A = this chain, B = another copy of it.
């Protein structure tokens, strides 16, 4: 092994979270190395948000167009799957990372391709694909940003059945005739929406009682209803006992608890994520391989002043935008500590990832879209807040009805009755993904209800839901 190369900061993992750490530490003048075993840009750019949105947008735009009198009649029946795939391939750079590598070079960071492992305190060992070894020494910080991978449960027969995970579901080049999807959260709901629209007969097998379990219950209900109307089968409270697949290209069979057997052409397991931490040397610094890495508000690992974890791997919020946010916060904290400056780690401070717990936004690109920020009613009550939930039928807003004939949707805001601010807001309906940022500003900005009355929504936009929610709250 060669002599250690010194950097101020070494970042393990070049997904969006790691890239933001690099960006911020480089901007502060620190020397920074970035280690990546796969593609620079990470899961999001190649096998998650980006390709999934490219697959979903045609489905959603078609659904929107079909709800507009005067246009609906001229919208054809089926999507051109090959054009959709070609567009998806464009957005993933055909799974090449040249553009992102150029960006790393442009800001003067040093990219190491290969598998990186912690190698004791402040040290990282990298093994390149060609078998070269490097040791990197970090003067100020090592940042773990290795993300997650799809978690495939231990079901008899599954391992040999070549199941799709989110990777295959976002990169496939053929439309399976029958697609079985196991799971009920975002990946399951989005991929059911996309593939049903692309021509598959989708069957969604949900272990729990509904879809999108982390959102307000009506989100999953509206999405399930729409999936059924689009022709998908949605089954809840089902459990997969075994999977059978013979040969290399044949159909796959899923055995449910109770003995029922379902057959599909492909099987997507969308059953959660596990941290990418098994083989990154956590044991060399006294941490547990394979586990999530808990961090403080600045994304630093307790008891290890030099070690940070950002993005999925710290388990604060498994969302690209939030990983980027953590990357900015951690990068700023590392730079401040390196400079001996005072940190601002108080609530909403420059070095505190407060939004992770108080204003976490998420947009789900199903039809209808579902988007939320902050706490659900149940979460707010569990946290001990004195709250009131204010609900409104989005379809009764003029701007929504004019946007789509027969618009169906729902909104809820959760009001903290003691402070008269919003703790959380949920929108479900066509176009909801772009509605939620107003709520994010209101929640993160802690804008009082009294002041929200002066934030007038334009007529006739869907955003006039804000006026209706305020009027309903006023009673």
Contacts and interface: CB of A to CB of B under 8 A. Distances in A.
Interface of A: 16, 44, 49-50, 53-54, 57-58, 61-62, 64-65, 68-81, 83-84, 86-87, 91, 319-322, 324-325, 328, 348, 350, 354-355, 359-363, 371, 398-399, 401-403, 405, 431, 433-438, 440-445, 447, 450-464, 466-467
28 contacts: A44-B459, A54-B402, A58-B69, A62-B68, A62-B71, A69-B80, A69-B84, A70-B84, A74-B76, A75-B76, A91-B402, A320-B459, A321-B456, A321-B457, A321-B467, A324-B467, A348-B450, A359-B456, A363-B458, A434-B461, A435-B437, A437-B466, A438-B438, A438-B441, A440-B456, A442-B445, A443-B455, A444-B451
A452 B458 contact: no
Contacts of A447: 441, 444-445, 447
Nearest to A322: B456
Contact of A87 (B363, B405, B440, B451): B405
A392 to B, nearest CB: 15
A434 B436 contact: no
Given A324-B459, A362-B458, A459-B320, A71 B58 contact: yes
Contacts of A44: 459
Residue among A16, A49, A458, A463 with the highest chain B CB neighbour number at 10 A: A458
A230 to B, nearest CB: 15
A70 B58 contact: yes
B81 A70 contact: yes
Contacts of A49: 459-460
Contacts of A348: 450-451, 454
Contact of A57 (B61, B402, B454): B402
A456 B455 CA distance: 19
Contact of A455 (B57, B437, B463): B437
Nearest to A360: B456
A433 to B, nearest CB: 5
